[in-house]
Amino acid sequence: MGDLVRVKHLHKEYGRNVVLKSIDLSVKRGEVVVVIGPSGCGKSTFLRCLNGLEEIQGGVITVDGLPVEPDKKDITKIRQKIGMVFQSYELFPHKTVLENVILAPVKVQKRYKDDAIREALVLLDKVGLADKKDYYPRQLSGGQKQRVAIVRALLMHPEVLLFDEVTAALDPEMVHEVLQTMLDLARSGSTMIIVTHEMAFAKAVADRIVFFDEGEIVEETSDVRGFFENPSTERARRFLKTFAYE
């Protein structure tokens, strides 16, 4: 399998504050890459750069061979290859669940509404929300809203899915249902780049672990179990000691 996402010498700064320093990373089609690291190390900014939501000051990002450049007119086409799910669900409060998830496929991709509805109902059923299709966001729990946001991303048929700390704003009892949905996606062969603080989940879902610290990749490995049992860097060892996981 070839590389779907390629990042070469990515440099991102805000004024004099350098957030990402010469990041190199490739992700193969069907691979699940989990990015971990301390708060403020650049993980979320990295995802936003991949989606063209942040301008970069150096380097190159390509998705399926196309360069990600926020100021170019074809950025909308490239973003359709990239599904992103945020901490905040970004659902329209005045639209039902079904209306929320079909909006972009119909308006942006110009797909037939009936086709979008049929696919949406199948996906909502897969995540256990078929009976909530006519509910409004205010009638849903946080975990349900996050699953709706995942369905909305999937309905755009993205090449790669980006998840940015999607359980961070959830109550603990709601975390499991969202992580289970993501685990199911990973097992189905979806290409995913996941930023998370859920270490047990990272251990279960990752094909590769990428450890960030202070805007740099400090450690990267496909030996996921080995990383959690005995990381090769002292910085990663100190980081993992702050978590209790099985």
Q: Is residue 144 part of a domain?
A: no
Q: Is residue 117 part of a domain?
A: no
Q: Is residue 139 part of a domain?
A: no
Average pLDDT over residues 64-75: 81
Model pLDDT, residue 89: 81
Q: Is residue 121 part of a domain?
A: no
Higher pLDDT, 218 or 65: 218
Long-range contacts for 63-68 (Cβ within 8 Å, ≥24 apart)? 63/4, 63/5, 63/159, 63/160, 64/4, 64/159
Tally of CB atoms within 10 A around 76: 10
Q: What tens digit of pLDDT does each residue of 105-149 get?
A: 999 889 999 999 999 999 999 999 999 999 999 999 999 999 999
Please report how many Cα atoms fall inside a 13 Å half-sphere around the Cα of residue 221, on the Cβ side.
17
Higher pLDDT, 168 or 226: 226
Q: Quick check: 246 pLDDT over 50? A: no
CB 162 within 8 A of CB 47: yes
Q: What tens digit of pLDDT does each residue of 184-196 get?
A: 999 899 999 999 9
Q: What are phi and psi of 11, to 5 degrees?
A: -125, 125
Model pLDDT, residue 173: 81
Q: Is residue 124 part of a domain?
A: no
Q: Which of 11-20, 96-105, 163-172, 189-198 has the lowest mean pLDDT?
A: 163-172
Domain that holds residue 43: 3-90+159-240
Model pLDDT, residue 82: 92
Q: What tens digit of pLDDT does each residue of 32-56 get?
A: 999 999 998 999 999 999 998 999 9
Strand, coil or helix: 218: strand
Model pLDDT, residue 171: 85
CA-to-CA distance for 207 and 62, rounded, in angstroms? 21
> Which burial class, exposed, middle or buried, applies to 2 when counting CB atoms under 10 A from its CB (0-12, 13-18, 19+)?
exposed
Higher pLDDT, 243 or 14: 14
Q: How many domains does the chain fold into?
A: 1
Q: Is residue 31 part of a domain?
A: yes
Instruction: Sheet containing 216-221: give its strands across.
Output: 82-85, 160-164, 192-195, 32-36, 208-213, 216-221
Model pLDDT, residue 139: 96
Q: Is residue 60 part of a domain?
A: yes
CA–CA distances in Å: residue 10 to residues 49, 50, 216: 9, 10, 10
CA-to-CA distance for 162 and 5, rounded, in angstroms? 11
- Which CATH number belongs to the domain containing residue 173 in this structure? 3.40.50.300
Q: Is residue 152 part of a domain?
A: no
Q: Quick check: 232 pLDDT over 70? A: yes
Bridge-based pairing state of the strands 17-28 and 3-14: antiparallel
Among residues 156, 143, 142, 144, the alpha carbon closest in space to that of 133 is found at 144
Average pLDDT, the chain: 92
* Percent of the chain topping pLDDT 70: 98
Q: Quick check: 2 pLDDT over 90? A: no
Average pLDDT over residues 192-219: 95
CA-to-CA distance for 111 and 97, rounded, in angstroms? 18
Q: Quick check: 160 pLDDT over 50? A: yes
